[in-house]
């Protein structure tokens, strides 16, 4: 993008995309919270957020490609695991995956005005690592969510990448899938790091296409530690296989 277009895009962000995003965020949070309090939490906890995410991506004029939706079966509960490149991962998955689910998210999100309260009302799962007891409580909630027939989305790296490359996967999501004998669906995100990585939080959005790849489900073939390791390694390889060449290969991320 040349200098003139970059300046024009930033002016558009400042005057149009950002104000409308803030307004949409407040409205979505209020609709989600009120809807979950008086009605179907599975509906109000998902569809307003899905529409909000779709709208945010469209407001910033980001083109999106989704590959592999045919790999998901109707009515099947999945544990989705994805690489975590940047802030726009949330909008891409929420707005374009096409499956009702709950997030496993950092506890710090609760502090975000409007958003944190809406996420709590929608019964998304906050990962609390303050003590072993809190960690157990988190996974008990996630287990109950999956047993109810809902799907779950997890970023098994635990945090966003500093360099666009994948870090190591933590085993929590895979242990849950193993315990309940549910399929894992790996997701690969491309483009989010180029739009807004964590090193540029609260900076200008950089225009770049987004691509979401939905891989074939990985079904359990056993149960126990060997199965957990097998599905974790297979998921990691699947996610890695669809990354853009410049982000291929493991590279350590500082705070994992």
Decide which of 33 and 112 is more confident. Answer: 33
* Segment 26-85, tens digit of pLDDT: 999 999 999 998 888 789 999 999 999 999 999 999 999 999 999 999 989 999 999 999
pLDDT band at 256; cut points 50, 70, 90: low
Share of the chain above pLDDT 90, in %: 62
- d(Cα 205, Cα 61) in Å, to the nearest integer? 10
DSSP letter string over 167-180? -PPPSHHHHHHHHH
Containing H/E element for 204? none
Q: 28: closest CA among 85, 91, 88?
A: 91
Tell me the C-alpha distance between 155 and 63, whole Å.
Answer: 23
Residue in 76, 49, 71 with CA at minimum distance from that of residue 186: 71
| Cβ pair 20, 59 in contact under 8 A | yes
Q: What share of the chain is helix, strand, coil (3-state, %, to 5)?
A: 50, 15, 35
The pTM (predicted TM-score) of the whole model is 0.91
Averaged pLDDT of the chain: 90
What digits encode the pLDDT tens for the residues 172-205? 899 999 999 999 999 999 999 999 887 776 789 9
With a cut of 80, say whether residue 94 has pLDDT above it: yes
């Amino acid at each position: 993008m040349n200098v003139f277009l970059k300046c024009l895009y930033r002016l558009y962000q400042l005057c149009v995309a950002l104000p409308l995003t803030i307004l949409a965020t407040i409205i979505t949070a209020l609709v989600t919270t009120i809807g979950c309090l008086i009605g179907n939490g599975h509906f109000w906890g998902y569809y307003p957020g899905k529409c909000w995410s779709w709208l945010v991506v469209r407001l910033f004029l980001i083109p999106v490609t989704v590959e592999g939706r045919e790999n998901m079966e109707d009515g099947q509960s999945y544990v989705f695991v994805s690489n975590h490149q940047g802030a726009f991962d949330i909008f891409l998955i929420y707005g374009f995956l096409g499956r009702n689910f709950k997030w496993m998210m950092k506890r710090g999100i609760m502090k975000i005005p409007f958003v944190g309260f809406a996420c709590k009302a929608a019964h998304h799962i906050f990962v609390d690592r303050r003590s072993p007891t809190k960690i157990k409580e988190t996974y008990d909630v996630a287990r109950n969510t999956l047993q109810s027939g809902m799907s779950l989305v997890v970023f098994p790296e635990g945090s966003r990448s500093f360099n666009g490359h994948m870090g190591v996967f933590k085993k929590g999501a895979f242990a849950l899938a193993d315990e309940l004998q549910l399929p894992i669906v790996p997701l690969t995100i491309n483009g989010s790091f180029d739009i807004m990585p964590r090193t540029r939080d609260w900076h200008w959005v950089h225009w770049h296409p987004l691509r979401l790849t939905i891989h074939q489900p990985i079904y359990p073939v056993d149960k126990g530690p060997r199965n957990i390791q097998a599905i974790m390694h297979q998921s990691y390889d699947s996610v890695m296989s669809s990354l853009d060449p410049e982000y291929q290969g493991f590279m350590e991320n500082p705070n994992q």
